[in-house]
Amino acid sequence: MNAQPSTAPDLAPPYVRLQAVSKKFGEFLAVDAVSLEIRRGEIFCLLGGSGSGKTTLLRMLAGFETPSAGRIYIDGEDMSSVPPYERPVNMMFQSYALFPHMTVEKNVAFGLEQEGLARSEIARRVAQILEIVQMSPFAGRRPHQLSGGQRQRVALARALVKRPKLLLLDEPLAALDRKLRERTQFELLNIQERLGVTFIVVTHDQQEAMTLATRMGVMDRGRIVQVGTPAEIYESPVNRFVADFIGSVNLFEGRVTAVGAQDLTLYCEACGCTVRAQHRVACSAGDTVWAAVRPEKIALATDAAPGEPLEHNRIRGKVREVAYMGDVSICLVEIESGKTVRVTLPNRSGLAAQRDLRHACVTLSWDAASPVILTG
């Protein structure tokens, strides 16, 4: 279940707007002129590796860092130099940062106390949010008496009880084991839908991003490389970095031989194959481009007659390795030039069929709709 973008998103003004935001630490440029627009009610994921600047960007949204350049607008107001305790923004920390000397109840109430609400009102809202995150029976416990998943829910409750305009989540699922992670992903989506809060999630885990995000932004070395829905980013990456960063991809480097009205042909010298793609990019004959083909889009057929010349979008090779993953098998096929092509096959027929593939001579093929042509 993926999150769906909210209806009529393009008509609403951006809820969060970053305008050429940069951050320098001494000589080091952590965030480089990032401009971004995030709509109300969406779940926006910032995806990137270590040092990509995503955490710094998040901290600037929270108010813990001031931008060296640029402006940050939240719901129309310039928040660039507003301290964190005056922003309508709340954060769920990666380590949860629950106050160890307070009970769950007191932890959650803390933010409301700072607003100066009446005791009865505070108690009511705390009880309400604990109900939503299913932590009501643990209200009197201390953080060290809770498990990791329970602590996370308390951290979430603590941030959400203040009904912030924006909730920032720093690697929310990183500390959880796999089963818990899946459950929590869906719970997060449920809560977000129920409360309608705008989420901005920072993560290095693509799977997390793909599941949670209505839209995502891929970051590399301080810059946003591509923004789009998970599908857009996966199916139409804008350059090799993004293609390689999300999922796995096979890249064929080649020279453009023909540019047609509907398609594009290139010749990959290293692999000795011609790629014809229905994907149109601005380029001319003779340019060097890359054809990106996802492993699951490649079909594999055991060869009957080797030596026949091949048409476009086909290569011959020999299976080097088969990794059985349970639901799929990953085949590493070595083609003549020595390059390895990665193919993902669904295990319809089970392990035995995969065993036969080892060391088999095969022909790989894909149809023209599959490759994405990348110029960078």
Partner 1 sequence: MRKRGLFSRTALVLGLVFLYVPILSMIVYSFNNSRLVTVWDAAHSPTLKWYGVLFSDGEVLDAAWLSLRVAVCAATASTILGTLAGTALARFGAFRGRSLLVGMTTAPIVMPEVISGLSLLLLFVALEQAIGWPQGMGALTITLAHVSFCMAYVTVVIQSRLAGFDESLEEAAQDLGARPAKVFWRITLPLILPAVMAGWLLAFTLSWDDLVISQFVAGPGSSTLPMVIFSKVRLGVSPDVNALATLMVSVVASGVVVATVWMRHRQKRRERDAQLAAAANL
Partner 2 sequence: MEKIERRRLVPRGLPRRQLVAGIPALWLTLFFLIPFLIVLKISFSEARLAIPPYAPLITWLHGLPVPRIHLSSYAYLFTDPLYLRSYLYSVMVAAVSTLFCLLIGYPMAYAIARAGEAWRSFLLMLIVLPFWTSFLLRVYAWIGLLQNDGLINNVLLRLGLIHHPVTLLQTDFSLYVGIVYSYLPFMILPLYANLEKHDPALLEAAADLGARPFAAFLRVTLPQSLPGIAAGSLLVFIPVVGEYVIPTLLGRTDQIMIGRMLSDEFFDNRDWPLASAVAILILLLLVVPIVLLQRVERRELEAQAVAAETLEGSA
Q: Give the sign of the dihedral formed by CA 241, CA 376, CA 331, CA 277.
A: positive
Contacts (CB under 8 A) with partner 2, residues 6-45 = 25-26, 28, 30
Q: How far is CA 4 from CA 190, 231, 279, in A?
A: 12, 11, 26
68 binds partner 2 (CB under 8 A): no
148 binds partner 2 (CB under 8 A): no
Type and span of the H or E element at 187: helix 178-195
**What are the tokens at 291?**
């054809």
144 binds partner 1 (CB under 8 A): yes
Q: Which is nearer to partner 2, 246 or 322 (CB)?
A: 246
Type and span of the H or E element at 318: strand 314-324
Report the residue count for the chain.
376
94 binds partner 2 (CB under 8 A): yes
375 binds partner 2 (CB under 8 A): no
**Using the rule CB under 8 A, which residue among 2, 4, 35, 95 binds partner 2?**
95
Q: Within 2-147, where are the H helices? A: 54-62, 104-115, 119-132
**Using the rule CB under 8 A, which residue among 33, 97, 251, 328 binds partner 1?**
97
24 binds, among partner 1, partner 2, none (CB under 5 to 8 A by kind): none
- Which residue shows structure tokens 């979008």? 313
CB of 94 to partner 2, least distance (A): 6
Q: What is the 3-state secondary structure (H, E, C) of 108-174?
A: HHHHHHHHCCCHHHHHHHHHHHHHHCCCHHHCCCCHHHCCHHHHHHHHHHHHHCCCCCEEEEECCCC
Question: Which residues of this chain interact with partner 1, rule CB under 8 A?
Answer: 62-64, 83-86, 89-91, 93-95, 97, 99-101, 110-111, 114-115, 142, 144-147, 149-150, 158-159, 162, 180
What are the residues binding partner 2 (CB under 8 A)? 25-26, 28, 30, 50-53, 55-56, 64-66, 83-84, 94-95, 170-171, 174, 204
